[in-house]
Amino acid sequence: MRRHLALAILAFLTTPIGAAETKYQPIDLEPYATQKREDGLGSGIEGNNLANVPGGEQTFGGILFTVGNGIIHLGSNIVDRHPEKVEGIKVNAKCSKLQILHATCFGGGPNKPGDPFYIKDGTPIGQYMIRYTDGSGEGVSIIYGEDVRDWFFVNDEAKTSRGKIVWEGQNDRASMLDAKIRLYLTTWDNPHPAKEIASIDYIGKKSETFCAPFCVAMSLEK
């Protein structure tokens, strides 16, 4: 009994600090980027960008991400220069959760019926399609008002019912208009953690909505 207790104490003392902590594996989005962070988002106005988001390995909402020089920006019916989807984002790993750092352009401001770029809460604006190595898949919907809202905002605008705001900042354009910019965290619980994920497709609704979603980073939670 004493021997077992001594072995247990020894094991505890020799376990590296943090070894039992949750592990995160950032996904490399750089090969799939459709624009640079310092380039104008949405309408492309100069100075309306994500240059002030910290780059490299960063923690947002307690999750470790790698923020690259580029982002994946999808198009909409008013943003024609970007694609409707980006397919085959390489993963080749297992996870218990997928953590996503993202937002969308358009739908902000008062966002009331009758406004030029009104987006109703509950509107699907895209999805992440998870492709497992066995050929099966799972869709992760992006719902306006639940997962994300417009990245550009002023005080007292509504938040999301499911996604979490994990970064707020400014850029030159936002400062001119007394506004701010923000990013959201979406957490997806993988129903098949024992399956290896081959890749992820990021799919918008370019012909159906004003919203032009963009993804800054993704990370696997082991």
pLDDT digits (tens, 9 = 90+) for 37-46: 999 999 889 8
pTM: 0.89
Looking at the structure of the chain, the number of domains it has is: 1
Q: Name the token pair of 176.
A: 């001119």
Residue 210: band (very low, low, confident or very high) from pLDDT cuts 50, 70, 90: very high
Do the domain assignments include residue 34?
yes
- Average the pLDDT over 6-27 and give the result: 57
Note the pLDDT of residue 11. 42
Do the domain assignments include residue 7?
no
Do the domain assignments include residue 8?
no
Do the domain assignments include residue 15?
no
Please give the residue range of the domain that contains residue 172: 22-221
Do the domain assignments include residue 9?
no
For the cut 90, the answer to whether the pLDDT of residue 8 exceeds it is: no
- Single-letter amino acid code for the residue at 45: I
Do the domain assignments include residue 14?
no
Do the domain assignments include residue 11?
no
pLDDT digit string, tens, across residues 73-107: 999 999 999 999 999 999 999 999 999 999 999 98
**CB distance 28 to 66 below 8 Å:** yes
Do the domain assignments include residue 216?
yes
How long is the chain? 222
- Please, where are the H alpha helices in the chain? 2-14, 172-176
